[in-house]
Amino acid sequence: MIVYLHGFNSAPGSHKAGVLRAYMEARGLGGRFACPALPHRPQEALRCIEGELARHAGQRITLVGSSLGGFYATWLAERRDLRAVLINPAITPYIGLQAYLGPQRNLYTGHEYELTRADLEGWRALSVERVDPERYLLLLETGDEVLDWREAATKYEGARMAIRFGGDHTLRSFPEHLPRVLCFAGLSAV
């Protein structure tokens, strides 16, 4: 089972979630894909993800997290002994998202809300200092204009990594990595 965790101000209708869903459906694996709509509050997002994981209890689950979803995936992977594919993951969202404090609008749903200092502190409380690199596959592009790919490469040193020169925060090369993602998750076409 793959549980895809979208990023900040994103949604299950995001491009990467759709590409992965379609790829899996084309291989008869559509029933092994889930992508919950994550609330903007950190603790609410974790409750939502935990609920999704409970729905698939007893199955081998691999998380696929993009940006802020990668931050959540790390927290969950370390606490629940899961594997995770991280796509340009956020390392310190409690610092990087300070510039976004105030009114927000989700790019996909149009939902309006306020990003607060309490949200930043919620992310700070979820920070994982040390990771087991064996749990992870990192997909990074050096042209990421939002996050510094080197921070992720350093934090997850020793993990399986695919680093592409250029690109951007959307991970333009994502479709090229889909066979690797399914292999890492232990899935193949049925």
Q: Are 159 and 133 in contact (CB under 8 A)?
A: yes
Where does the chain have alpha helices with state H? 15-26, 42-55, 68-80, 93-96, 117-125, 149-155, 174-184
Confidence at residue 170, expressed as pLDDT on a 0 to 100 scale: 86
Pairing of strands 102-105, 112-115: antiparallel
User: What's the pTM value of the predicted model, to 2 decimals?
Assistant: 0.96
The domain ranges of the chain are 2-184
Question: pLDDT digits over 9-51, tens only?
Answer: 999 999 999 999 999 999 999 999 999 999 999 999 999 999 9
Q: Which CATH number describes the domain made up of 2-184?
A: 3.40.50.1820
